[in-house]
Amino acid sequence: MELMVHAKHMFHLRIFLFMFWLFSSLRLNRLPMKCYRPSWISLQTLITFENIMCLVLVISIITVDIIIMTILILTSIQFKMVSAEMEALFTCAYSETYVDKDIKQKIKRLIDHHNFLLDFADIINKTFTMSLVVYIGNVVTLLCIYMYHLSTMTTFSSYTIRDIFVVLLTLYGFIVCYCWPAQNFGDENENIRVSAYFAKWYEYPNYSKSVLMVMKRLDLGISISAGGIAKINMETCLKVVRLAMSYYTFLKSATDE
């Protein structure tokens, strides 16, 4: 529940920042533009159509980011539920109405739940892995180009505001919709091992084999990867920023010469 509240607040903040940037651009930008207009369509109709299509495009991009973020957050919550279930695995052993069948059913349900989540994580990777490679390439390119363009400006103008907002919103979207949820995704899976320890499974040798089977699968680890090249997490976020800065520095030094 706490994760969902944070996600909602971040989503609202992103909408606010986007709308602020949109209205600032419309108000400050005075660059004249020539475009072809067919004789059978009026200028007002053409402008309205262009604005609608622009909003549809932007909303579709944001929607994909939000969908991926939501999938990762909800899956993280499921791993958190498995972790809590693991920690409370042997609590019924202290009950006066305890029967051996209760623990066996809990272990079976826990293993089935965890296996389902691991399979689902594999589906997520297979679905988005190549798209994430392209997305990271876009992030590096945007950061590099707009930082370079920002460094060439001698006066503060509407273009300066545009460049700053593009850099900040690109980083914000990459961190909030991808890196942070993916980092939490893997961390919650690792927390199952900690919960198993606090469940004191070693005090119940009759069930240790089943618990060890779950812990053995945790050794494989899960993560969201971009084409099998890099794991999507906060460390990768720093590497992407460092890579963009390296390209920017190279481009700046090459043009200055």
**Contact partners, residue 205, CB within 8 Å, separation at least 6:** none
Is residue 150 within 8 A of residue 167, CB to CB? The reply is yes
Q: What is the mean pLDDT of the chain?
A: 78
pLDDT at 48: 80
Q: How many domains does the chain have?
A: 1
Q: Does residue 134 or residue 199 have the better pLDDT?
A: 134
pLDDT per position as a tens digit, 51-61: 787 777 777 77
CA distance 63 to 80: 25
41 secondary structure, DSSP code: S
From the list 175, 183, 146, 162, the residue with the least C-alpha distance to 240 is: 175
- 188, 76 contact by CB (below 8 A): yes
pLDDT score for 200: 73
Range of the domain at 194: 2-256
pLDDT tens track for 189-218: 888 888 877 777 777 777 777 777 777 777
CA-wise closest residue to 236 among 165, 181, 192 = 181
Q: How far is the C-alpha of 74 from the C-alpha of 250, rounded, in Å? A: 41
| C-alpha closest to that of 240 among 167, 186, 185, 181 | 167
Those residues whose C-beta lies under 8 Å from the C-beta of residue 139, and which sit 6 or more positions away, are 170, 174, 240, 244
* Residue pLDDT, tens place only, 27-40: 544 555 566 677 88
Count of all residues that appear for the chain in the document: 257
Residue 228 confidence (pLDDT) above 60: yes
Comparing 7 with 198, the larger pLDDT belongs to 198
- Residue 125 Cα to chain centre, angstroms: 13
Counting Cβ atoms within 10 Å, is residue 32 exposed (0-12), middle (13-18) or buried (19+)? exposed
State residue 131's pLDDT score. Answer: 85
> What would the pLDDT profile of 63-111 be if each residue is shown by its tens digit?
788 888 889 999 999 999 888 888 877 765 555 555 567 777 888 888 8
What residues contact 141, with CB distance under 8 A and at least 6 apart? none
Q: Residues of the chain with pLDDT > 90: what percent?
A: 5
- Select the more confidently predicted residue: 62 or 31: 62
pTM: 0.73
